[in-house]
Amino acid sequence: MADQKEQRVCVKFCFLLGKTAAETVGMLWQAFNDDALGKSQVYEWFSRFKSGNMSTEDMPRPGRPSTGRNDENIAKIKRAIDEDRRKTIDQLSEETNISWSTVQRILTEGLHMRRVSAKFVPRLLGDDQRENRVNVCRNLKSEVQNDPEFLKRIVTGDESWCYGYDPESKQSSSQWKTPTSPQPKKVRQVRSNVKTTLICFFDVNVKGTNIQAKIKNNKNKFWLFLGPPSYTVSIKNTQ
């Protein structure tokens, strides 16, 4: 992450060159991307330089100086966070007997941490499950090596919900913008309540014209049969 003090020097350099605040914002974005100073921060520094104060250091804050952010308290917070990174600032404050604002400053300024959400992954596997997957892959590899026609006999498939109306995802509607361009907007929409399950099977040996599908509905169960007979599959789904 780019040091803010370094960016302040860059802002001062652009100011001395006669660049505008808007031009400086764009240049910082090109150089530092997501780590660049915000638009309001750049304009604030331009106002300070125009007033004659050319220092890039923070102005001293009024009031009593903070004494809570010392090495001892930082060590306390670090130990508590290492035990459980899901602890909130309220929990850390209560556990360490340190004020909420001091804990917040220790986390963000002292330990340079920020709270992020967990990344979604398809599934979390245990050691036994990983080992089982390795064994299955080895068996499949052995089958392919011993039988060149093995892959041609595989039938694969998948299922997915198909909605009567499926709104555009956040990722697909994203677009590039400059720091000075307005934020794009779109109307919040929800998926249609009308939906059905689409199940597809693929096999290298069966032509599309030879596939016959018959679905029998029975309350919350259905059976799907695919031909020819040698590739008949029976699937039972319970909602």
114 pLDDT band (50/70/90 cuts)?
confident
Residues 159 and 221 in one domain: yes
| 121-129: long-range pairs with CB below 8 Å, 24+ | none
pLDDT of 106 higher than 50: yes
pTM, two decimal places: 0.34
In a domain, 16, yes or no: yes
In a domain, 83, yes or no: yes
* Domains contained in the chain, number: 3
CB 111 within 8 A of CB 130: no
In a domain, 169, yes or no: yes
Q: Domain range spanning residue 32? A: 4-50
- Which of 12-16, 31-35, 168-172 shows the lowest mean pLDDT across its residues? 168-172
Phi/psi at 146 (nearest 5 deg)? -85, -25
In a domain, 22, yes or no: yes
149 pLDDT band (50/70/90 cuts)?
confident
Three-class DSSP labels, 153-190: HCEEEEEEEEECCCCCCCCCCCCCCCCCCCCCCCCCCC
207 pLDDT band (50/70/90 cuts)?
low
> Could you check whether the bond before residue 228 is cis, i.e. omega within 30 degrees of 0?
yes
Residues 233 and 191 in one domain: yes
Distance CA 12, CA 38 (A): 15
- At residue 237, the pLDDT reads 43
pLDDT of 211 higher than 60: no
- At residue 109, the pLDDT reads 84
Residues 27 and 97 in one domain: no
At 17, which CATH number?
1.10.10.1450
- At residue 63, the pLDDT reads 57
In a domain, 42, yes or no: yes
